[in-house]
């Protein structure tokens, strides 16, 4: 079949092959990746056609009672084109009788510019609609693309939908190129039970109204494997259709019935996860499909015996309902709402232009939690941080100032009062074993007349810290001059929009050696540093009640992203990772070998399709020439021979970076060891200052979390990338997701050279002579 590039083609199925061979995929699949509901997100055309978004399904849930933005895209030449969108409550079979009389959404037509090349191209703006707020209902979307003309008229098909027969409908499905369908429910992958409703109506105009033999099929989508023990059921409200609750086999679940032309019923599809913790892979899912069973010989003869009736012809797909599991948009849907989008846009407005909403709570009312700008006290995550949450990085907050073991050191207080100065970093200060270590906290406040209470913990390092562990396994900082073991320090805030320093330091007294053995050993490798975690709580001066601490007010995290979201969105918490050194630390020698390490933790709640990146950073003020580093991991299954990267030169331009990427990892813990050859010219330079960072990559530029992600390290696209055997899209397996397919496990080419990353954790590594 020759390709028609003189018109804009909409794909019917989210598979790369659907672009090259559209004749293989019927629009009755109702799974077009070129109809893109994005709730309140406003997407750029470049993001819609970016390779990471073009590949596969990227839609978000449709939200009742609120404005939903839908974008249309396609490939082909010529133009300009216009697109319309029709919305109906979910219909399993999208007969033209259902939607042809429905008016397009009131936002009008969307223009798709087109061009001389084959694209792809996307609509310049969204088509918007507000569905009713009805619980349990999904929606079917019908997109129509055609050449734009001055009159702005929409050409409709020439058939008469009022007298359309099933055979005419199947011909329309295979021959039409201007319409495509979307009947998708986007579900939370941690749900143990998903229920989806859809309406089924039968139309089969004929001189003699005969029942139409149909077959129902529930099957798992191609691509990521179904979780073990998955069960499904299907019932209707007419008592005609029933697939009892059953375990979904590789061949799917089936039911065959004959439905009268007048049939009109509501179907309910149920999906049950029998696992203790439901955990569907991102972009995996299943479909409910209905087929026309060809025909039944003898059915045209009234009164023919059942034994005389035999089926003939191949089943023909009439319609589908698709359920897709996607974590980012379902678990963070509030960040994609129209109001959240408007707030993010308003952060770039001048303060006096009226686009900012000032929160004015009642006197003595609890200080509200607001976003993107915090109300009241807030900590920074880096020196240039602004009051905008969720923040893109954390783990090295300048509002935790470790000033060393001498409170009288020159320049300390003036540095603390300057928000642009990071005294700890500039003076390369570490926690010192066996000594008093003084720490000052500081921060900003957006409102007046509040009291702020702060505390700090020193925790043996790990890049992912669960807040429940802070008060349990940590050394609490004691207030200097507090007259006893006081671990809380208060400050009174008289003015708004000011920078404050808590005037008395907290003391981490004699933090123990993370390596109690003189010889060294595993404890040095896995716990060589400390994480300083500060948190604050606040109240109005007129109130006598303190709220709880932030670490007391969280629930168990269900996914890795939940943890990252909480850390990035909480203005009353900040983290700083620092080295630990013994009090008798000695300078190095020429080209000494230094070792440090930490634990690589892949949580049980992570997906095997998560793309991870290990980033090693050296931020020493001076990096001598000739230095090299090697990173090894005890996980030989993921990293061949346990080697992440080997003997790479360290750039003399600080900060210098190295790292590796991997996907298909099994949950668990593994020791990472970094070996640094440091040529310090007989102690002329201090030992290397090294940080470890663990990130995940955003696989689509249309994620509701994209604003909270960071750009990747320059040159990281050349780092080694390892694909584990657990990755769901290996070999020539069909892949309807936006995730890439790899032909083999092992070393591959990194597929996301410019995709943003989420920092899950960062630790400073304490080096030790090998």
Q: List the alpha helices (DSSP H) in 133-214.
A: 166-175
Q: How confident is the model at residue 766 (pLDDT cuts 50, 70, 90)?
A: low
Which residues of 316-374 form beta strands (DSSP E)?
316-325
Q: How confident is the model at residue 208 (pLDDT cuts 50, 70, 90)?
A: low
Least confident window among 316-330, 551-565, 620-634:
551-565
Question: What is the mean predicted confidence (pLDDT) over 266-274?
Answer: 93
User: How many of the other CB atoms lie within 10 Å of CB of 251?
Assistant: 8
For the stretch 212-226, pLDDT in tens is: 889 999 999 887 888
The chain-wide mean pLDDT, for the chain, equals: 82
What is each CA distance from 690 to 260, 516, 629, 633, 655, in whole angstroms? 72, 22, 11, 17, 10
Three-class DSSP category at 501: strand
CB 173 within 8 A of CB 27: yes
Look at 439 and 759; give whichever has higher pLDDT.
Answer: 439
User: For residues 304 and 459, what is the distance between their CA atoms, to the nearest angstrom?
Assistant: 82
For 394, residues 6+ apart whose C-beta sits below 8 A from its C-beta are: 381, 567, 568, 574, 575, 759, 762
User: How many of the other CB atoms lie within 10 Å of CB of 99?
Assistant: 19
User: For residues 596 and 183, what is the distance between their CA atoms, to the nearest angstrom?
Assistant: 53
Q: How confident is the model at residue 84 (pLDDT cuts 50, 70, 90)?
A: very high
Regarding beta strands 184-187 and 316-325, do their DSSP bridges make them parallel or antiparallel, or are they unpaired?
A: parallel
- Give the pLDDT score at 484: 45
For the stretch 576-593, pLDDT in tens is: 888 887 765 444 345 678
- Output the six-digit token pair for 50: 């970016």
Three-class DSSP category at 215: strand
Radius of gyration of the chain from its Cα atoms, rounded to whole angstroms: 30
- Torsion angle of alpha carbons 662, 664, 669, 670, nearest 10°? -50
Which residues of 419-501 form beta strands (DSSP E)?
431-432, 436-445, 450-460, 475-476, 478-479, 489-493, 498-501
For the stretch 365-395, pLDDT in tens is: 788 877 788 999 999 998 989 998 888 767 7
User: For residues 293 and 625, what is the distance between their CA atoms, to the nearest angstrom?
Assistant: 74
- Output the six-digit token pair for 381: 């995550």
Regarding beta strands 668-678 and 628-633, do their DSSP bridges make them parallel or antiparallel, or are they unpaired?
A: antiparallel
Closest CA to 37 of 242, 213, 235, 184: 184
Question: What is the mean predicted confidence (pLDDT) over 100-112?
Answer: 91
CA-CA-CA-CA torsion sign (698, 703, 709, 715):
positive
What is each CA distance from 3 to 11, 20, 21, 176, 736, in whole angstroms? 13, 8, 8, 14, 22
CB 336 within 8 A of CB 708: no
User: For residues 402 and 506, what is the distance between their CA atoms, to the nearest angstrom?
Assistant: 9
* 150 pLDDT more than 60: yes
Residue 546 sits at the vertex; the CA angle it makes with 541 and 547, to the nearest 5 degrees, is: 125
Which strands form 179-182's sheet, in the order they lie side by side? 110-112, 81-89, 139-147, 179-182
For the stretch 694-752, pLDDT in tens is: 888 888 878 777 777 788 998 999 999 999 999 998 987 778 888 889 999 999 999 99
- Give the pLDDT score at 507: 85
Residue 737 sits at the vertex; the CA angle it makes with 131 and 123, to the nearest 5 degrees, is: 50
Q: How confident is the model at residue 681 (pLDDT cuts 50, 70, 90)?
A: low
Closest CA to 663 of 605, 740, 597, 761: 740
User: For residues 508 and 720, what is the distance between their CA atoms, to the nearest angstrom?
Assistant: 40
**Facing residues of 656 across strands?**
618
- Give the pLDDT score at 186: 94
Question: Domain boundaries in the chain?
Answer: 16-330, 349-581, 592-769
User: How many of the other CB atoms lie within 10 Å of CB of 592?
Assistant: 18
CB burial string 368-405: b at 16+ within 10 A, e below: eebbbbbbbbbbbbeeebebbbbbbbbbbbbbbbbbbe
Long-range contacts of 242-250 (CB under 8 A, 24+ apart): 243/216, 243/218, 245/270, 245/272, 248/218, 248/219, 248/220, 248/286, 250/220
CB 697 within 8 A of CB 752: yes
* 333 pLDDT more than 60: yes
* 441 pLDDT more than 60: yes
Does the predicted model carry a pTM greater than 0.85? no
Tell me the backbone φ, ψ of residue 339, rounded to 5 degrees. Answer: -70, -40
- Give the pLDDT score at 204: 64
For 501, residues 6+ apart whose C-beta sits below 8 A from its C-beta are: 416, 417, 440, 441, 442
User: For residues 196 and 182, what is the distance between their CA atoms, to the nearest angstrom?
Assistant: 15
Question: What is the mean predicted confidence (pLDDT) over 349-356?
Answer: 39
- Give the pLDDT score at 237: 94
- Give the pLDDT score at 346: 66
């Amino acid at each position: 079949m020759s390709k028609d590039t003189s018109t804009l083609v909409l794909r019917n199925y989210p598979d790369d092959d659907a672009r090259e061979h559209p004749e293989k995929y019927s629009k009755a699949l109702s799974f077009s990746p070129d109809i893109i509901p994005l709730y309140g997100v406003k997407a750029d055309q470049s993001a819609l056609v970016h390779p990471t978004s073009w590949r596969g399904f990227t839609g978000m849930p449709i939200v009742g009672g609120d404005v939903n933005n839908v974008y249309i895209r396609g490939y082909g030449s010529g133009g300009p084109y216009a697109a319309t969108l029709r919305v109906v409550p979910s219909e399993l079979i999208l007969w033209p009788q259902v939607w042809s009389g429905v008016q397009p959404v009131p936002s009008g037509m969307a223009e798709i510019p087109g061009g001389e090349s084959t694209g792809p191209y996307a609509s310049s703006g969204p088509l918007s609609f507000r569905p009713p707020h009805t619980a349990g209902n999904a929606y079917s979307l019908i997109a129509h693309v055609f050449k734009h003309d001055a009159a702005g008229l929409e050409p409709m098909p020439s058939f008469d939908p009022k007298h359309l027969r099933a055979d005419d409908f199947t011909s329309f499905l295979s021959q039409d190129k201007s319409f495509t369908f979307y009947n998708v429910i986007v579900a939370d992958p941690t749900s143990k039970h998903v229920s989806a409703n859809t309406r089924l109506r039968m139309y089969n105009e004929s001189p003699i109204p005969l029942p139409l033999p149909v077959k129902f099929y529930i099957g798992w989508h191609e691509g990521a494997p179904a979780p073990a023990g998955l069960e499904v059921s299907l019932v209707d409200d007419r008592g005609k259709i029933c697939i009892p609750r059953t375990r979904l086999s590789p061949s799917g679940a089936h039911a065959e019935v004959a439905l009268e032309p007048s049939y009109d019923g509501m179907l309910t599809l149920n999906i049950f996860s029998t696992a203790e913790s439901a955990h569907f892979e991102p972009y995996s899912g299943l479909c409910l499909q209905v087929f026309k069973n060809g025909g039944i010989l003898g059915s045209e003869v009234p009164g023919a015996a059942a034994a005389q009736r035999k089926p003939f012809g191949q089943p023909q797909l009439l319609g589908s309902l698709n359920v897709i599991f996607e974590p980012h948009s379902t678990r963070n849907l509030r960040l994609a709402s129209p109001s959240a989008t408007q707030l993010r846009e308003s952060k770039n407005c001048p303060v006096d232009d009226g686009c900012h909403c000032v929160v004015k709570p009642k006197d003595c009312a609890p200080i509200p939690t607001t976003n993107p700008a915090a109300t009241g006290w807030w900590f920074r995550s880096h020196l240039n941080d602004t009051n905008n949450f969720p923040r893109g990085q954390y783990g090295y907050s300048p509002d935790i100032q470790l000033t060393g073991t001498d409170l009288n050191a020159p320049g300390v207080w003036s540095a603390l009062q300057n928000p642009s100065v990071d005294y700890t970093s500039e003076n390369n200060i570490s926690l010192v074993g066996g000594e008093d270590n003084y720490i000052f906290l500081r921060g900003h406040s957006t409102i007046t007349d509040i009291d702020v209470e702060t505390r700090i913990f020193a925790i043996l390092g790990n890049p992912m810290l669960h807040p429940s562990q802070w008060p349990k396994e940590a050394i609490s900082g004691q207030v200097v001059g507090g007259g006893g073991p006081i671990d809380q320090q208060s400050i009174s805030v008289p003015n708004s929009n000011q920078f404050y320093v808590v005037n008395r330091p907290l003391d981490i007294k004699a933090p123990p050696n993370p390596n109690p053995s003189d010889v060294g050993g595993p404890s040095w490798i896995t716990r060589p540093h400390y994480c300083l975690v500060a948190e604050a709580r606040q109240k109005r001066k007129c109130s006598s009640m303190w709220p709880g601490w932030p670490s007391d007010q969280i629930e168990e995290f269900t996914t890795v992203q939940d943890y990252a979201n909480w850390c990035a969105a909480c203005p009353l918490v900040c983290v700083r990772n620092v080295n630990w050194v013994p009090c008798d630390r000695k300078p190095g020698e020429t080209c000494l070998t230094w070792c440090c390490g930490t634990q690589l933790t892949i949580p049980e709640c992570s997906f095997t399709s998560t793309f991870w990146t290990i980033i090693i950073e050296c931020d020493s003020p001076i990096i001598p020439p000739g230095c090299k580093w090697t990173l090894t991991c005890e996980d030989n299954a993921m990293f061949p021979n346990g080697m992440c990267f080997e003997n790479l030169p360290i750039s003399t331009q600080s900060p210098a970076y190295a790292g590796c990427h991997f996907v298909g990892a099994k949950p668990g813990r593994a020791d990472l060891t970094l070996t640094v050859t440091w040529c310090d010219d007989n102690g002329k330079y201090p030992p290397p200052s090294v940080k470890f960072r663990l990130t995940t990559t955003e696989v689509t530029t249309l994620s509701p979390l994209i604003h909270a992600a960071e750009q990747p390290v320059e040159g990281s696209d050349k780092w080694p990338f390892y694909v584990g055997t657990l990755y769901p899209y290996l070999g020539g397996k069909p892949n309807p997701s936006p995730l890439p397919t790899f032909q083999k496990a092992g070393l591959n080419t990194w597929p996301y050279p410019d995709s943003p990353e989420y920092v899950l954790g960062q630790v400073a590594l304490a080096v030790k002579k090998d």
